[in-house]
């Protein structure tokens, strides 16, 4: 019990087609595709605007090589012996 089989999926698909009709479903999927394209375009435009503004996007920053010497992060009180 609880597993969704192919027969249950077919029944759900038939019910959706009966409720909404084939035309409404294809129209809805077209709207979803337009929304995704619009979102991607907006993200691309936003990335271009930040590059033009002179800010560096983290997508384009290459990782720097680690420093040759380790950095001491010990609090001053412990380093000074207090």
pLDDT digits (tens, 9 = 90+) for 18-50: 888 878 888 888 899 999 999 988 888 777 666
Over range 1-11, report the average pLDDT.
Answer: 86
Separate counts of helices (H) and strands (E) for the chain? 2, 0
Angstrom distance (rounded) from CA 19 to CA 28: 13
Instruction: Give the model's pLDDT for residue 60.
Output: 47
- 81: left (phi > 0), else alpha (psi -120 to 50), else beta? left
pTM listed for this prediction = 0.39
- CA–CA separation, 36 and 42 (whole Å): 10
pLDDT confidence band for 61 (50 / 70 / 90): very low
Q: Where are the domains of the chain?
A: 21-51
CA distance 58 to 75: 30
Main-chain dihedrals φ then ψ at residue 14, nearest 5 degrees = -65, -40
pLDDT in the model for residue 8: 93
């Amino acid at each position: 019990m609880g597993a969704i089989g192919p027969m249950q999926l077919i029944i759900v698909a038939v019910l959706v087609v009966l409720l909404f009709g084939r035309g409404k479903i294809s129209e809805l999927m077209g709207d979803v595709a337009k929304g995704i394209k619009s979102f991607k375009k907006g993200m691309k435009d936003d990335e271009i605007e930040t590059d033009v503004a002179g800010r560096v996007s983290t997508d384009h920053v290459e990782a720097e090589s680690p420093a040759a010497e380790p950095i001491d992060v010990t609090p001053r009180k412990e380093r000074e012996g207090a």
